[in-house]
Structure 1
Amino acid sequence: MDEYDVAMLLMQADAEDVGEVFRDWMRGMARRTVLRVFEAETQALCGALYRPDAGSPCYRAGSAPGTVLHEGRKDEVRRPRVRRRKEDGMTEEVRLSSYEAAQEPGHLEEMLLRALCAGVSTRGQKDVYPESPANSKSSVSRLWQREGAKMLDEFRTRDIKRDDWLVLMLDGVRLANELWAVVALGVAEDGTKHMLDFEIGASENTAVATALCARLAERGFAPKAGCRLLCVFDGAKALRKGAKKVWGDPVFQRCLVHKERNLRRYLSKRHWGALAQCIKRLRMVQGAQDAREALAQLRSFVQGKNAEALASLDEAGDEMIALHLLEVPNTLHRNLLSTNIIENAIRNMRGKLGRVTRWREETDQPSRWMALALIETEKGFRKLAGYRDLPWLAQALARKPEAMADAA
């Protein structure tokens, strides 16, 4: 079927059949190309058809039925056979390297892994590639265990050493009852964002957080020389303890989004709008003095409405305005006053993690899925909003805590 025939069929086909007609033509083209490659290798070994190379020990031996893999399916072909004369007078079969390459399952495995990354379950692979020779649930599961372990190892061993790390974000992901993952994301002075690592545990406890931070330090993650680390976290005491134990004196910035959610739990819905306005003002102001005024306004609003809400706000204290106290441009507030960067990444991860119906804590299954989700999410990262002002943050983090307190 040539291009003219294809064009005629496409014009005659219904809209839903156009794709299938084109795919059939592409499969036919690929099949003919494969056969031409087989023939080219056979000629190189034996000489042209009906004109054998007298100096070659190889000769044509007819053909045999065979199969090649193309786009996840097995296609039947007639493969040429070649035999080689040995010195003892016997002959042996010669395997064509082109035929072995056409049977290489690596391309098929790549397609199955791409489907997994796109959200297709191991059971659903058969619907995507119905004619694939290796699409059974068990085959795909074994493939995923092997490739997932490799992906996890590459994620955990990749080089994260830099001399310009400024920000570490820590947040927890609930995978199932009593199964959490603490995720770490780093921001460098050039504005690039990187998924650093994660740790699986029964909760966001100190042991899990410390293990994660310690592994980051072992892998070479450290703040820029002479600077403290800005640690943006969701407010969990365990995360603060873990970061403090490893890096000594980070500047802790409480996530305003988490704090607003926390305050909403205590306040009536009729107060949510006013609460949002107070939080918005806190995000917009620049500098320590204006930040303290905005925080005082927020406290005044909460006071008298709910004692628990007031206690929650007072517990956070200056961690609500730690970034403001550094006297950096408010262009950095959009991304550094909350863990939204990592929250959005987690939201994207849900599409990949949500299809896991049973988490097996006794295996590396949760870690494999987390590595996949973080790697795929990182591919869509852009530079931090306001990244051109990050040198101001670096200068502020280089100041001594006493100087910062005097400035505030």
Structure 2
Amino acid sequence: MGQSQGKDRLSRRQGRSRAPSGSCPLGGEMPLPSWAAAVDEDLLGQWALNLMLMNVSTRKFGGAVRLPGGDIPAERGAGVTRSAVSRRFVALSAETMKAWMAADLSALDLLVIQIDGIHIAQDLILLAAVSVDGNGDKHPLGVMEGASENAAVCQALLDNMVGRGLDPAVCRLFIIDGSRALSKAIRNSFGRSAPIQRCQVHKARNITERLPKSLHASVRRALRQAWELDDADKAETLIRNLARRLEREAPGVSASLLEGLDEILTVTRLRLPTELRRSLACTNIIENMNGTIRRVCRNVKRWRDAAMALRWTGAAMIEAAKGFRRLKAHNQLPSLRAALLAHQAECAVGAGLDPVREAA
């Protein structure tokens, strides 16, 4: 019996001295399970994408994925070098961009679409679109590259959205910065009666920048008074009076003030509540997103091509969407829906009368 007990004790000691399966031998290094999991291609790719969107450079990636002590050794081929991180970011951002630009839009109840240009480089402009649904939630829709905001680029972006399920027969409010090419493309795709609102902030800025400083305060005050009026006819009269007052001192500015006057007062003509009108009279939604794009892209020192700009901008737009809040006046969106339906019905009746008038 004593010999049997001795053998049992010896076997237990030998069992404790053996390294468990999947661990290091005695005297070696114990591999960290979390690090082994991080070496996985998909996880490291997501890690690289997230850190680069947080402005961590590829040179600092190896230190960013380690513990605060920074003493976890990365073996050769572990995938934390500058070039490996860059390759992962390129591959994952391209895959994300492709899936995003092909996502179905038919299930979204979109009431508002804002479109604006983003200047990436001297000869490269990206056209981006953001929407607001019936609940006030915001959605980035897409981005398209071009040398300028010309009609071809605008049409390509709109065609992409229509091809993904955006019904052109549904009346929506479009908010733009004032590009004529964009207005033309919208009316080609969504009908001549599509309501388009030009950004009032852009308009006021463009006007005051061309005036002497002595006129800035009075012109801003007059424009603000016109924007706040509930009656579109009175607002238009006020703007025309301002244009006549500027004819002597700045005739070119006077003509610019009247250009696109109908589109400047679209939200007023729709008779929207004041708070909702203020939210939809400018492109602030997309301007805020542009701030995120500039922050994400500030580490890029040289844009190699349009594909690179699209990948970075698309990733930044998706990142910005994580911080989107509901529209401030989302409780008043039912009034916008009713106004759009009434506008569509009125335009349909007017279109039906035109052939009768022509025949007469």
Could you tell me the TM-score, scaled by structure 1's length? 0.71
Normalized per residue, which structure has more strand?
1
Structure 2 portions without partners, runs of 5+ = 1-11, 350-360
Structure 2 partner of 1:238: 181
The aligned runs of 1:356-395 (5 Å cut-off) are 356-361=300-305, 364-395=307-338
Structure 2 partner of 1:110: 46
Structure 2 partner of 1:144: 89
SS at match of 1:140: helix
SS at match of 2:167: coil
SS at match of 2:342: coil
Structure 1 portions without partners, runs of 5+ = 1-47, 53-58, 75-99
Q: Does 1:295 align with 2:239?
A: yes
Q: CA RMSD in A?
A: 3.0
SS at match of 1:240: helix
Structure 2 partner of 1:6: none
Q: Once the 2 structures are TM-superposed, how far is the Cα of residue 215 of structure 1 from its aligned partner?
A: 0.4
Q: Once the 2 structures are TM-superposed, how far is the Cα of residue 299 of structure 1 from its aligned partner?
A: 2.6
Q: Once the 2 structures are TM-superposed, how far is the Cα of residue 292 of structure 1 from its aligned partner?
A: 2.5
Q: Once the 2 structures are TM-superposed, how far is the Cα of residue 283 of structure 1 from its aligned partner?
A: 2.9
Residue range with higher mean Cα deviation, 353-362 or 286-295: 286-295
Q: Once the 2 structures are TM-superposed, how far is the Cα of residue 342 of structure 1 from its aligned partner?
A: 0.5
Structure 1 partner of 2:141: 196
SS at match of 2:248: coil
Structure 2 partner of 1:331: 275
Could you tell me the TM-score, scaled by structure 2's length? 0.80
Structure 2 partner of 1:128: 64
Alignment-mate amino acid for residue 211 of structure 1: A
Deviations 1:70-123 (A, max 9, x none): 77xx6xxxxxxxxxxxxxxxxxxxxxxxxx657535444433322111112223
Contact residue 126 and residue 143 of structure 2 kept, 8 A: yes
Match 2:158 to one of 188, 213, 232: 213
The aligned runs of 1:345-360 (5 Å cut-off) are 345-360=289-304
Structure 2 partner of 1:155: 100
Q: 1:198 and 1:334 mapped to 2: Cα distance?
A: 26
Q: Once the 2 structures are TM-superposed, how far is the Cα of residue 68 of structure 1 from its aligned partner?
A: 3.6
Q: Does 1:174 align with 2:97?
A: no
The aligned runs of 1:23-34 (5 Å cut-off) are none
Contact residue 159 and residue 219 of structure 1 kept, 8 A: yes
Q: 2:30 and 2:190 mapped to 1: Cα distance?
A: 59
Structure 2 partner of 1:260: 204
Q: Once the 2 structures are TM-superposed, how far is the Cα of residue 393 of structure 1 from its aligned partner?
A: 1.4
Q: Once the 2 structures are TM-superposed, how far is the Cα of residue 146 of structure 1 from its aligned partner?
A: 1.1
Alignment-mate amino acid for residue 226 of structure 2: L
Contact residue 272 and residue 336 of structure 2 kept, 8 A: yes
Normalized per residue, which structure has more helix?
2
Percent identity of the aligned residues? 30
Alignment-mate amino acid for residue 336 of structure 1: L
Q: 1:67 and 1:293 mapped to 2: Cα distance?
A: 80
Q: 1:124 to 1:307 in 2, by over 3 A?
A: farther
Contact residue 69 and residue 102 of structure 1 kept, 8 A: no
Alignment-mate amino acid for residue 262 of structure 2: D
SS at match of 2:178: coil
SS at match of 2:101: helix
Q: Once the 2 structures are TM-superposed, how far is the Cα of residue 286 of structure 1 from its aligned partner?
A: 1.7
Q: 2:32 and 2:22 mapped to 1: Cα distance?
A: 24
Deviations 1:332-385 (A, max 9, x none): 1222111111011102211011221111226x2111101111001111111112
Q: Once the 2 structures are TM-superposed, how far is the Cα of residue 199 of structure 1 from its aligned partner?
A: 0.2
Contact residue 93 and residue 311 of structure 2 kept, 8 A: yes
Structure 2 partner of 1:248: 191
Q: 1:229 and 1:212 mapped to 2: Cα distance?
A: 16
Q: Once the 2 structures are TM-superposed, how far is the Cα of residue 273 of structure 1 from its aligned partner?
A: 1.7
SS at match of 2:299: coil
Q: 1:165 to 1:110 in 2, by over 3 A?
A: closer
Deviations 1:267-325 (A, max 9, x none): 01222222221232233222323432443344344333311111111221211101101
When the two structures are aligned, how many residues end up with a matched partner?
324
The structure showing larger relative contact order (alpha-carbon pairs under 8 Å, at least 6 residues apart) is 2
Structure 2 partner of 1:344: 288
Structure 2 partner of 1:36: none
SS at match of 1:157: coil
Q: 1:128 and 1:400 mapped to 2: Cα distance?
A: 55
